[in-house]
Amino acid sequence: MQRASRQYGNRELRFRACALTSPAKWRAPSVCGAALRPLGGFGVALSALITASLALAQSASETKAFQSGQFRYSVALPAGCRHEEGPGTLDAVCSTDFDPDKSAMASAASALVLEVGVEPVPEDAGKVPAELARRYDEAQFKAELPENVCGESDKTRVRIENVKQVVEETRVGYTADVACPEIKFLGLGERHARVEVFVTPGLRYRLMARAPIEEFEQHKEAVDAFFASFRIHP
């Protein structure tokens, strides 16, 4: 995936430059507010917090469907994110509260990013999964993560955990959790990412979700929905 590595590496450099220059069932909010009125100012503040949490959960659950006939896949992305499409790529850049106006100005280096990338590999056409796994093995998958996910050339600074390979009937899947180091001169803290790669006859798909480490768990619902929505079509 050398072409993809250069593509994602170049994109990460642009993201860094941008960072330098760019600025369960819940009760209805009215019911919660009524229950909290005896608590005075604290109750009002807590009611506002609950209302904001409800709004965030709702905005994160609203999605927009995307489908690629050329690369035979479909996926759903949060509707409140900025969506960017390129040759073989689809990105969602999301503000913390999934507000469209804020997402439009968000830096991909420091926001939640959901990404799909596809690389044609003609030499893999017609290959069975066992052979695909030999041609693109776990070692190669791990070797590409620092540059592709973190934009980091020093592999020793990137922590890779929970690596898994699954050989299925028609494809090979790889998953991993990645911890990207802080970039002090850009003011970027540590970021966490989850990556899935699917190797199929002729096409390789890479899915990534990345966010500041303190926000990743907050966005777990949106991240899980993104990965669960991805489908490869015949």
Q: What is the pLDDT of residues 138-147, one digit of tens each?
A: 999 999 999 9
Tokens describing residue 89: 């790529």
Q: What is the pLDDT of residues 214-227, one digit of tens each?
A: 999 999 999 999 99
How many residues are present in the chain? Answer: 234
Give, in order, the Cα–Cα distances in Å from 90 to each of 65, 66, 213: 12, 9, 22
- Is 15 or 138 the better-scoring residue by pLDDT? 138
Helix axis angle, 220-229 to 41-61, nearest 10°: 10
Beta bridge partner(s), residue 73: 68, 232
Q: Which residue has the tokens 């669960």?
A: 228
- Report the pLDDT averaged over residues 76-84: 97
Q: Which residues, other chains included, contact 179 with Cβ-Cβ below 8 Å and sequence gap of 6+?
A: 158, 159, 160, 161, 190, 191, 192, 193, 213
Task: Tell me the C-alpha distance between 191 and 178, whole Å.
Answer: 8
Q: Which residues, other chains included, contact 9 with Cβ-Cβ below 8 Å and sequence gap of 6+?
A: 147, 148, 151
* pLDDT value for 65: 97
Q: What is the pLDDT of residues 197-209, one digit of tens each?
A: 999 999 999 999 9
CATH superfamily of 2-23+62-232: Mog1/PsbP, alpha/beta/alpha sandwich (3.40.1000.10)
- Under 8 Å between Cβ of 209 and 180: no
* pLDDT value for 187: 84
Tokens describing residue 199: 């190797």
Cα within 13 Å of Cα(104), Cβ side = 2
Domain ranges of the chain: 2-23+62-232
